[in-house]
Every structure is written in C-alpha cells, then in structure tokens.
Amino acid sequence: QVQLVESGGGSVQAGESLTLSCVVSGNFDGGDYLAWFREAPGKQREGVAGIDGLGTATYGESVKGRFTVLRDNRKKILSLQMTNLQMEDTAKYFCARSPYSMGGRRPLQEDDLYNYWGQGTQVTVSS
C-alpha cells in the first residue's frame, strides 16, 4: 500500500504562484515514478508533470516553462512549483505513483500506469 496526500492548493489571481506538495508514505520505493495530474470540470484528466527516481522530469505542453516538478526521496515529498498561473490552470490537482519504468511509455498520457492516487487539492485562478 502507498498513501499520497496533497496539500498547498488555494485561490490565487492570474500571474501569481503556488506550490503544491504531496507526501508519500507506505510501501514507496525511491525508483517509483511520481506525477501530477489535474482535472477540471468538463475536461479530461490531464498529465501535468512527472519525474523519475533519478530526477528526470517531463511536462505537459501547457505548463512547460511555468511549472517545475521536484522530488525528495529521503523525505518522500513530491512538489509542484507553479508560476504565472492562468485561469485555465484552475483544476483539482492529484499526485500519483507508478511502479513501472517509463522507458518507451508516455507517463503523462497513460494514467492507467498509476496504481495509487491522492485525494487531490483544488487550485483556483481568477482574473
């Protein structure tokens, strides 16, 4: 069992920044793949950013250059630093864990690779 608990969501204005955190506990391996996804009303789940055990990150096109994903394997914390937030970033953000190596896979497009998910934290961006 792996537990993931997100925090750090809130309401901000466009252009502001926010950092989300995800604390991982349980049967977590430093080699596990961790990622952030988001869900907005009326939209499909979207992969935001992912990072492997060595710290290699990948980002969705809509957040490249604005979001940074980091992980601390010792503290078992995944974070998402979000800058220049826009109204279209409004969504519930989830962290997820996959036990698989992502070589040859698309970690932000294949959410069925993840077997544990957090409950999510809401981010609301207003103009």
Beta pairing partners, 86: none
pLDDT at 103 over 90: no
Instruction: Map residue 113 onto helix, strand or coil.
Output: helix
Mean pLDDT, rounded, of the chain: 96
The whole-number pLDDT of residue 71 equals 97
Can you tell me the mean pLDDT for 76-102?
A: 96
Mean pLDDT for 63-75 is 97
The pLDDT > 70 percentage for the chain reads 100
What's the full length of the chain, in residues? 127
For residue 104, pLDDT beyond 90: no
Given pLDDT bands bounded at 50, 70 and 90, which one contains residue 101?
Answer: confident
Average pLDDT, integer, range 70-76: 95
pLDDT in tens, 19-56: 999 999 999 888 999 999 999 999 999 999 999 999 99
pLDDT at 120: 98
Q: Is residue 73 scored above 90 in pLDDT?
A: yes
Rg from Cα positions in the chain: 14
Buried-exposed string 104-117: b where 16+ CB fall within 10 A, e elsewhere: eeebbeebebbebb
